[in-house]
Amino acid sequence: MTRRTAGPLYQRIADDLRARIQDGSLPPGAKLPTELALAKEHGVTRATVRQAVQLVVNEGLVVADRPRGHFVRKIERITYRPQEEWRERPDFPELDQFMDEQVELGRDPHQTIAVELTAAPPDVAARLGLDSIGTVVVRRRVRYLDGVPFNTNDSYYPLDLVEGSEIMLPADIGRGANQVLAELGAEQTHAVDEIEIRMPSPDEAERLEIGLGVPVAMHRATGYTADGRPVRVVRNVLPGDRHLIVFERSRGRDSTTPSSNAHP
């Protein structure tokens, strides 16, 4: 942490706040001094203090809880393992995988499911190899943990592949949508995971109750059958303050250089 001794006033005030957070005198969850108090302390107007506070808010260090005050952000991440979707499931699971794992950890998960028929958005169409009029089935899920929205999970399937199947029903699929796909003759043997880091759109921020200063990961997974046909695209939006993405890899032949069907 480089301490500034010159430069704009608001930067110096922000430096001071960061230092207090880092050295523990303002621990996670602590309430910051009020804007008025900071103004008096530094001999500036409230407007200048607000610039400083805005800065640390946009860095994700501090959250505004209006009108109680500003507080040091508490961060608690769950581990998100894209590879686990291919883990063996119990023979008669009652919940889907996300729910299942979280219950094991003593959390209270639930999710909303909506199914929709639309034209494939461009990124999905490109990965599914569909032309511009390709119709897809989308399963949109919002997942909650202890009442807080945690991530969104939108799965896209070519309509002709899943028409009439369980995938089109807005309900949990205990054995997993991938299992249903396999039963439909489209078993997936490999997948490509893409992770894009950016700030959320206003829509995403609202849907996931994301505050300022929290970026998201857009995780896209494209699943392929043995003959290289893409049969599924999943778009996950993961708020950065609530997720740690984990992959494991071995030096085996099949997990290093699959070489084909790579996107983009």
Q: What are phi and psi of 225, to 5 degrees?
A: -80, 175
Closest CA to 115 of 164, 47, 64: 164
DSSP 83: G
Report 143-182 residues binding its own copies (CB under 8 A).
none
Report 205-244 residues binding its own copies (CB under 8 A).
212-213, 215-217, 238, 240-241, 243-244
**CB-neighbour burial class of residue 242 (10 A; exposed 0-12, middle 13-18, buried 19+):** buried
**One character per residue 55-94, x = contact with its own copies (rule: CB under 8 A):** ---xxx----------------x-x--xxx-xx-------
Assess 105 for contact with its own copies (CB under 8 A).
Answer: no
CB of 201 to DNA, least distance (A): 18
| The residue count for the chain | 264
Sign, Cα dihedral of 87, 92, 98, 100: negative
Assess 252 for contact with its own copies (CB under 8 A).
Answer: yes
* Contact call for residues 58 and 213 (beta carbons, < 8 A): yes
Tokens encoding 263: 């996107």
CB of 51 to DNA, least distance (A): 6
- Is 172 or 194 the residue whose CB approaches its own copies more closely? 194
With H, G, I as helix, E, B as strand and everything else as coil, classify residue 98: helix
Assess 46 for contact with DNA (CB under 7 A).
Answer: yes
Largest CA distance in the chain: 71
**CB-neighbour burial class of residue 53 (10 A; exposed 0-12, middle 13-18, buried 19+):** buried
**One character per residue 52-91, x = contact with DNA (rule: CB under 7 A):** -x----------x-xxxxx---------------------
- Is 82 or 174 the residue whose CB approaches its own copies more closely? 82
* Interacting residue ranges for its own copies, rule: CB under 8 A: 1-2, 15, 18, 54, 58-60, 77, 79, 82-84, 86-87, 188-199, 201-203, 212-213, 215-217, 238, 240-241, 243-252, 254-258, 262-264
* Interacting residue ranges for DNA, rule: CB under 7 A: 8-11, 32, 34-37, 43-48, 50-51, 53, 64, 66-70
